[in-house]
Structure 1
Amino acid sequence: METSRAARQPRLPFFGAALIGVVALAAALAAGHLVAGFISANASPYLAVGNGAIDLTPVGLKDFAVRTFGVYDKLVLLGGMAVVMVLAAAVAGIASRRSPVPGIVLIAAFGLLGGLAVALRPDLSAVALLAPLASLIAGVGVFFWLHRLASAGPRDEVAGATPSRRSVLLAGAGAVVAAGAAGAGGQLLAGTRDAESSRTAVGRLVPAEPAPPIPADADFAKLGTPTFLTSNRDFYRVDTALSVPQVRAEDWSLRLHGMVREEKRFSYDDIRDRPLIERTITMTCVSNEVGGTYVSTANFIGVDLGDLLREAGILPGAEQIFSTSVDGWTAGSPVVAALDPERGAMLAIGMNGEPLPVEHGFPARMVIPGLYGYVSATKWVKDLEITTWKARRAYWLDRGWGEQAPIKTQSRIDSPKGFETVPAGKVRVSGVAWAQHTGIERVEVRLGANGSWLPATLSREVGLNTWRMWWTELDVPAGSHQVTVRAVDKSGYTQTDARAGTVPDGATGWHVISFTAR
């Protein structure tokens, strides 16, 4: 009896069933994004799952993604997630050709996963669970509705077009349009909390203590090096944020607490109204491979971080500044580095004469020269807890990275490019070297694996916390060649040739490029 009833139950067309699953997925994601627009962008289940994936990604895979895709690594992640979800939704629809139960179960599982991802976000409150709940209701509801429409009424197997199928097409098209409108609505709502308008309203930042002018011979840009100062547009960006946090200056505050005599809280106006300082600082990402581009220099504007700490009164035994971003990301910085007046750690609110770009941490970020960014450069910072290394463990420490992370002495060849063909004879070789808070003493270059090391001409030194450009000219006969560079810092240390990856505390090795002379 049951078998005959199942046999009489109409089976949905293969592609039609798959399409029902995909449309239901679109409705679920759009509904979640719409509700998240009222709460927080990170409440969107799609972004919450993506953020969870980033947090759970093994260090090696994360490093590979940064190396391979650079600033597009998160777009690749979101795109990959979209492909997987569409395929899963299509499979859910196909598995439900006779009954909606398999599809509803799979959609409900997706909804629960989104809810779990939202619940685990450290920057979201319980109200954010409304977004995945909306996704769950919309996804299940649209799937069941379209499935019932598609299953109703007799079918003309010869003609193929039936009132039921036309109804499903119209209903599906309507659901897609509604999903698009909901998604756009969520994006529009998120835009009402846009930080860019707040940043524009800040206006020009004028430091009471400007940085010394950059000398004309601080770079050899005409000879192939980067310009000494990196534009805000070109400044490297590596972080875990899938969606750039949108924090208005008028809503921002910084809490300074923990092992201090007096807890402090600063508003944006509290910081801006202080006498601002400007410092020229080169920053480097720990994910920078040998010869990599994740190193940039800017004039940062803000206040001395050490001054804020001294006002709060650091208690004996304090070891780290445990900083937290508005999106829940954390970093641990050595207290001793932040208090060192020669190092010049900052709470920065400006960059190259402008308020911080939103993607670089507006309204405020930390900048501690001489340390890799993952322990020194928290963007969108909202909380500084003075504590010990044992008491609190920051985001990357639990993922295999080092605790203190001083920047290593490194150098890079920028010209000629790897595998470039150049005229034989006099070949100009140029590049950049850095050893923040130690300083570069000299740079040496050699042609071939066994050639003699030759000194390069260095640019004017701007400071111990900035990079230096270099260039030299080599006599190169026709043929294939290799050029190697190494730097010697002001402590007398010669950059090691021992190759090491970025984990746990920065890459080492000499940069070598191959080129052809003709």
Structure 2
Amino acid sequence: MSSRLRILPAALCGVLALVAALAAGHLVASFGNINASPYLAVGNGAIDLTPLPLKDFAVRTFGTYDKTVLLGGMAAVLVLVSATAGLLSRRTPWPGVAVIVAFGLIGGVAVAARPDLTAIALLAPLASLVAGTAVFLLLHRIATRQQATDSSRRRFLLSSVGTVVGTGVLGGAGQAISGTRDAAASRAAVGQLVPAVSAPPIPADADFAKLGTPAFLTPNRNFYRVDTALSVPQVRTEDWSLRIHGMVEREIRYRYRDLRDRPLVERTVTMTCVSNEVGGDYVSTSNFVGVDLADLLEEAGVQPGAEQLFCSSVDGWTSGTPVAAALDRSRGAMLALGMNREPLPLEHGFPARLVTPGLYGYVSAVKWVVDIEVTTWKARQAYWLRRGWGEQAPIKTESRIDTPKGFDTVPAGTVRLAGVAWAQHTGIAAVEIKVDSGAWQATTLSAEVNPNTWRMWWTQIAVKPGTHQVFVRATDKSGYTQTETRAGTVPDGATGWHSTTFIAS
């Protein structure tokens, strides 16, 4: 009967085999598409399979760190399972090998399911399987046969250190190789995007930033980001193209230079995520620079009966934009190349994305867009539509209190309130506030830039010492006033009055 491994070496065999497997898979994936890395492929698969309420909880709870939490949680689970596999293999290595094979199969299935990967990408999970199995068997043999003496223990220790160093080199090499296709240099080479038709200047009184509202234009670094991409796609302008096909008179493919050389237009647009809770901050405004989407569609010749633009990102994510909204020139849908006179940031869709004012981002603003199929709603269902979200997704009239913050302590007497409201493509007509159980009071609105942007508000109230609750509601230019009824973000955006509680002392 073979000797029984001690607990620590047994667990270490499993963990080090896991590290070797992930490093080898990452290295092989780096020569093609980094999304073939089994760790990322399984993570992306987990995102796709996560139930809608759990997705909504993750975005609401962790915000832009939701992907970091997912990857960290995956890492913890993998380490725990691999250590357990090692412990189950104290007498024989085969339980650990079985776990490694199971990991390899899961990675292979995850890679095969990715719409942006080809069959050759399966080499990455295969490399993980081979490397993990080889390292596990090697370390297990050394630990089993040579754990009796100090010199043999040193050999196991040296082998473990060597595995750590080797996997570090492999993983680093994979990261370096994938970095050679980093799109940052391509983005830098684009230079400043100067529109032929500029957006009207932003009036000085378009915000009340000194009174507690956001600045009217959101700096690129602060623009909200919500998407399903675990790793930011790296697409160089020289490799990028956009195909428009389907229910069109002629299929057209545009290269980046084709669009960059056109007279560019600039539009000021506020975008909102459907995951934005009442009072949330998934709303931002930018001067987008690009070309009219209607121009591109008219050049292709949209056929009668077409209902949606089934748009695909380079990483396989899809959205469905209503054709009527895309062709509505009063709305001003764009294929955007830049934000605030800079090329799009990598995380916001460089080289190109869609921007369709007045619709939530999941149907209107696909990033890293490479394919637009003109089709019907029945023929194709996009990513979120398959998961029960709404089809048309017009942005709902909403408002928010930015100051005072919840449970702030302020001096009793005159208190300043300020915030923001939005009703994209309709426009805000009025914002009112109510303190405790009092009557609704009008506020002062900022200058309107255009109906597709948010609008700031502020007012002053007199309060006595104590705890107070203030509510806000907006009325848009159609005459609709926000409902008090609370609804969650699913399936087509949250509703309800935002409120905040503060203490006057």
Q: Under TM normalisation by the shorter chain, which class is it?
A: over 0.9
Deviations 1:304-335 (A, max 9, x none): 00110011111000000000000000000000
Give how far 1:400 is off. 1.5
Match of 2:108 in 1: 115
Matches within 5 A, 1:472-487: 472-487=459-474
Partner of 2:236: 248
Cα distance 1:488–1:153, how it changes in 2: closer, same or farther (>3 A)? closer
**What code does the residue aligned with 1:65 have?**
A
Match of 1:136 in 2: 129
Task: Determine whether 1:179 maps to 2:167.
Answer: yes
Counterpart Cα distance in 2 of 1:165 and 1:121: 43
Deviations 1:424-459 (A, max 9, x none): 0000000000000000000000100x2110000000
Match of 2:29 in 1: 36
Rounded to whole Å, the distance in 2 between the matches of 1:460 and 1:189 is: 50
CA offset digits 1:104-150 (Å, max 9, x no partner): 00011001100110010000011111100000000000000000111
In structure 1, distance between residues paired with 2:471 and 2:231: 39
| Aligned with 1:307 (options 295, 310, 313) | 295
Q: What is the distance in 2 between the residues matched to 1:341 and 1:113?
A: 47
The reply to whether residue 281 of structure 1 matches residue 269 of structure 2 is yes
Output one character per residue of 1:197-247: Cα deviation in whole Å (capped at 9) or x when no partner. Answer: 100001111100011110000000000000000000000000000000000
Q: TM-score, normalised by structure 1?
A: 0.97
Q: Which amino acid aligns with 2:83?
A: A
Question: In the TM superposition, what is the alpha-carbon distance from 1:151 to its structure 2 partner?
Answer: 1.2
Q: Give RMSD over aligned pairs.
A: 0.6
**Does 2:362 match 1:374?**
yes
State whether structure 2 residue 9 is matched by structure 1 residue 22: no
Select which of 212, 215, 223 maps to 1:235.
Answer: 223
Tell me the amino acid that sits aligned with residue 69 of structure 1: F
Q: Are 1:499 and 2:486 matched, yes or no?
A: yes
Q: Report the AA paired with residue 287 of structure 2.
A: N
Over the matched positions of the two proteins, sequence identity in percent amounts to: 71
3-state SS of the aligned residue for 2:197?
A: coil
Q: Report deviation, 1:162.
A: 2.7
Tell whether 2:81 aligns with 1:94. Answer: no
SS at match of 1:237: coil
Q: Which residue is 1:3 aligned to?
A: none
Paired position in structure 2 for 1:61: 54
SS in 1 for 2:391: coil
Find out whether 1:391 has 2:384 as its counterpart: no
| Structure 2 counterparts to residues 434-473 of structure 1, below 5 A | 434-448=422-436, 450-473=437-460
Letter in 2 for 1:112: L
CA apart distance, 1:164: 2.1
Equivalent position to 2:419, from 425, 428, 431: 431
The residue that corresponds to 1:512 in the other structure is 499
Amino acid at match of 1:123: D
Among 472, 475, 481, the alignment partner of 1:488 is 475
**Distance (Å, rounded) in 2 between the aligned partners of 1:188 and 1:455:** 58
Residues 36 and 124 of structure 2 are in contact (CA less than 8 Å); yes or no, is this contact kept in structure 1?
yes
Task: Give 1:407's aligned amino acid.
Answer: I
Q: Which runs of 4+ in 1 moved over 3 A?
A: none
Q: Which amino acid aligns with 1:12?
A: L
Residue 321 in structure 1 maps to residue 309 in structure 2: yes
Q: Does 1:124 align with 2:112?
A: no
Unaligned runs of 5+ in 2: none
Match of 1:158 in 2: none
- CA offsets 1:233-278 (integer angstroms, 9 cap, x no match): 0000000000000000010000000000011100000010110000
Q: Is residue 267 of structure 1 aligned with residue 255 of structure 2?
A: yes
Structure 1 letter corresponding to 2:485: A
1:153-211 alpha-carbon deviations (Å, 9 max, x no partner): 472xxxxx532221111011101100011111111011000011100001111100011
Query: In structure 2, what is the equivalent of residue 363 of structure 1?
Result: 351
Question: What is the letter of the counterpart of residue 120 of structure 1?
Answer: A
Aligned to 2:154: 166
Letter in 1 for 2:79: V
1:77 aligns with 2:70: yes
Instruction: Please point out which of 87, 101, 106 is paired with 2:99.
Output: 106
Using the alignment, how far apart are the partners of 1:515 and 1:484 within structure 2?
12
Where 2:472 maps in the other structure, the secondary structure is strand
Answer yes or no: is 1:150 the counterpart of 2:143. yes
CA distance in 2, matches of 1:180, 1:42: 19
Does residue 201 of structure 2 align to residue 213 of structure 1?
yes
Q: Sort the Cα spacing of 1:117 and 1:154 in 2 relative to 1 into closer, same or farther, 3 A.
A: closer
SS of equivalent residue, structure 1 residue 64: helix
Choose from 35, 41, 53 the match for 1:48: 41
1:359 is displaced (CA, Å) by 0.2
Give the Cα–Cα distance (whole angstroms) in 2 for the partners of residues 399 and 421 of structure 1: 43
> What's the CA shift for 1:152?
1.2
Give the aligned residue type for 2:448: E
Distance across 2 between alignment mates of 1:79 and 1:91: 18
Secondary structure of 1:412's partner?
strand
SS at match of 1:239: coil
SS in 1 for 2:92: coil
Choose which of 169, 185, 188 in structure 2 pairs with 1:197: 185
Code of the residue aligned with 1:74 in structure 2: it is K
- What amino acid sits opposite 2:472 in the alignment? V
- Secondary structure of the 1:397 match is coil
Query: 1-side partners of 2:341 and 2:192: how far apart?
Result: 7
Secondary structure of the equivalent of 1:102? helix
Distance across 1 between alignment mates of 2:325 and 2:147: 77
Q: Is the 8 A contact 2:420 2:456 kept in 1?
A: yes
> Which digits, 9 at most, give the CA deviation of each residue in 1:281-310, with x for residues without a partner?
000000000000000000000000011001
Q: 2:254 and 2:146 mapped to 1: Cα distance?
A: 67
* Partner SS for 1:103: helix
- Code of the aligned partner of 1:391: A
SS at match of 1:67: helix
